[in-house]
Chains A and B, each alone.
Chain A
Amino acid sequence: MKRLLLAFLLCSLEAAASTPRPADEGVRFRTLDVVLTSDAPIAAWQVEITTDGGDSRIVGVEGGAEPPFDAPPRHDPAALQSGRIILAAFDTGRALPAGKHRVATLHLREAGAAPRYQIELVAAGDPAGERVSATVTVDPRSPTP
């Protein structure tokens, strides 16, 4: 009888844990690649990303695809769980060659309507520390439920 009661209790607990809570409904996760394109080598860069509309929160920051920007860029930890973030990184020893590079990846938690992402290049510099012209884009990957 005790075993039967215990089995029933365990089944109830598992069922309760697997039932989606109302607050989790419609929640999905998205990965956003930050891509920098320039005709000059890049030794320093800074961008600002904001989300507009929907319920979107930044939950993680990852580095880029290749050195020297493969470590997570500098950001304010307070930006996590918010919809705005400033990313910045530099390396005095190496630079990214001219071209198109993924310099960072953001992980976001979305809920409700699909938010829009805006990105602004604050600064990009070459190995001499001179400001260079560059474009920055966000490349959203398909969300995962």
Chain B
Amino acid sequence: MTDERDVDLQRALALSAVPVPPEIDARILDAAGRRRARRRWPLAAAGALMAAATALFFAFRPAPAQARDVNHDGRVDVLDAYRLARAVEAGETAPRWDLNRDGRVDRADVDGIMTALVSLQ
């Protein structure tokens, strides 16, 4: 039974062993490549979207509690907001105090601390 199948297969292979012209070969390879490329773009788009989302998350993530501890006493309270407000009024603009990451150290950063410390969340 197995021998008969082998023979059939050999015959079929012999029949299909017609030489394929190289231009047809090239077209088949080209079409396969295009199909593969079409399949790849959704993956590439998803990857780009994830990268953009990650970049946005890191750019606009809320300042960690450590950053809000302006006076370095190990806790975040109104004295940190007060210290930062005085620094802003004095024109001190250390980049670490740009808590809202808008490129400026100003009253909005002080407000950010105040909002966070009275929040019940």
Contact = CB atoms under 8 A, between A and B. Distances in A.
Interface of A: 43-46, 74-76, 78-79, 82, 84-90, 92, 122-123, 125, 129, 131
Given A90-B85, A92-B89, A76 B79 contact: no
Contacts of A122: 77-78
B81 A88 contact: yes
Contact of B78 (A76, A78, A84, A123): A123
B115 to A, nearest CB: 8
A75 B120 CA distance: 9
B110 to A, nearest CB: 9
Given A44-B78, A44-B79, A125-B79, A92 B85 contact: yes
21 contacts: A44-B79, A46-B78, A46-B117, A74-B115, A74-B118, A75-B118, A76-B121, A78-B120, A82-B120, A85-B120, A87-B118, A88-B81, A88-B114, A90-B78, A90-B81, A122-B78, A123-B77, A125-B79, A129-B82, A129-B83, A131-B73
B90 to A, nearest CB: 10
Interface of B: 71, 73, 77-79, 81-83, 85-86, 89, 114-115, 117-121
A45 to B, nearest CB: 6
Contacts of A84: 120
Contacts of B73: 131
A125 to B, nearest CB: 5
Given A46-B77, A131-B73, A92 B118 contact: no
Contacts of B119: 76, 78, 86
Contact of A74 (B83, B86, B114, B120): B114
B71 A129 contact: yes
A84 B73 CA distance: 26
Contacts of A75: 118
A133 B120 CA distance: 25
Contacts of B78: 44-46, 88-90, 122-123, 125
Contacts of A43: 82
Contacts of A74: 114-115, 118
